[in-house]
A = this chain, B = another copy of it.
Amino acid sequence: MGDLKEFFGAAAADVEAKLSELVAEPGRLHDAIRWSLFGGGKRFRPALLLASGETFGAAREQLLQTAVAIEMLHTYSLIHDDLPSMDNDDLRRGRETCHRKFDEATAILAGDALQARAFQTIADDQRLDVSLRLKLLSGLSLAASRMVAGQQVDLEAEGRRLSIDQVKNIHANKTGALIEFSVVAGALIGDATVAEIEAIGEYGQNLGLLFQITDDLLDVTETTESLGKTAGKDARLEKATYPSVLGVEGTKDLADAVYSASLSALLKLKRPNELLAQIAKFIRHRQS
């Protein structure tokens, strides 16, 4: 996995540089935005977009601004999810959450601003032609809507007993939509065919599921220190998780099945995709 580590490291560095360039205003609101944007995030979604886009032959400079927009949207969702009226979390990536470091109003506005900025970042990307930018904006807005819908159902589900399909449905929206869009966006920028976009979308759906399944497993098996966020939180909040429905062993079996499905989707691509396969493998076995 040496190549993958290198890829993730370089991707994160490129994403951070582009983010710094795009979010550089003064003032308390932007201090809060930067606190959350540069809080040690793994840049997983933008890296995924870069991996997908480069698989389809796009140049990194064509991909970076959309990658950064996705990270902005993701960061906004984390800031709002952490709020007292939602998951009420004090810790994110080993540091205070935005509303703890600043205040609640500033955290809400920082999230709001990041959502607007995500759309602006794609709309104003002069490297991409007009119809491509419009496709990306349409996809981003749909993913943004699905994230919110998933978070709402997730909050309502707290304390309730759910079926495995209900759990999958929550996470397909809450976490999956943006992961799926990340790989699809890369393919769109790489000018993939309709069949390729369908295949990569299937990969993305499975990867999104896998990401949430392994996230749930980590919440059960790891410590707050190793995660950099509060461990055991799902059980405390009686969240709709895979282990709560399937048990730990059943969840591991599901992870294996979903991992296989992601690789099957890649087979349909009919072009080299080793990096995307490695990413799926990495997510299956991640420790944080």
Cross-chain contact B148 with A112 (CB below 8 angstroms): yes
Whether, in the assembled complex, A284 has its beta carbon less than 8 Å from a beta carbon of chain B, the answer is no
Of the residues B103, B113, B144, contact of A148 by C-beta under 8 Å: B113
The number of times this chain is found in the oligomer is: 2
Cross-chain contact A145 with B120 (CB below 8 angstroms): yes
Cross-chain contact B124 with A130 (CB below 8 angstroms): no
Cross-chain contact B108 with A108 (CB below 8 angstroms): yes
The SS class assigned to the A binding surface is helix
Complex Cα–Cα for A27 and B105 (A): 27
Residues of B within 8 A of A156 (CB): 28
Minimum CB–CB distance from A25 to chain B (whole Å) comes to 8
Interface size range on A against B:
35 or more
Minimum CB–CB distance from A207 to chain B (whole Å) comes to 22
Residues of B within 8 A of A119 (CB): 119, 137, 140-141, 144
Residues of B within 8 A of A124 (CB): 138
Interface residues in chain A, defined as those with a beta carbon under 8 Å from any beta carbon in chain B: 27-29, 80, 83, 85-86, 103-106, 108-109, 111-113, 115-117, 119-120, 123-124, 130-131, 133-134, 137-138, 140-142, 144-145, 148-149, 151-153, 155-156
Contacts A/B (CB < 8 Å), 19 sampled: A29-B148, A80-B112, A85-B104, A86-B105, A86-B108, A105-B155, A108-B108, A109-B148, A109-B151, A113-B148, A113-B149, A116-B141, A120-B138, A120-B142, A120-B144, A120-B145, A123-B134, A124-B138, A137-B137
| The 10 A-B residue pairs with the shortest CB-CB distance in the complex, in nearest-first order | A120-B141, A116-B144, A85-B104, A123-B138, A29-B152, A113-B148, A85-B105, A119-B141, A116-B145, A123-B137
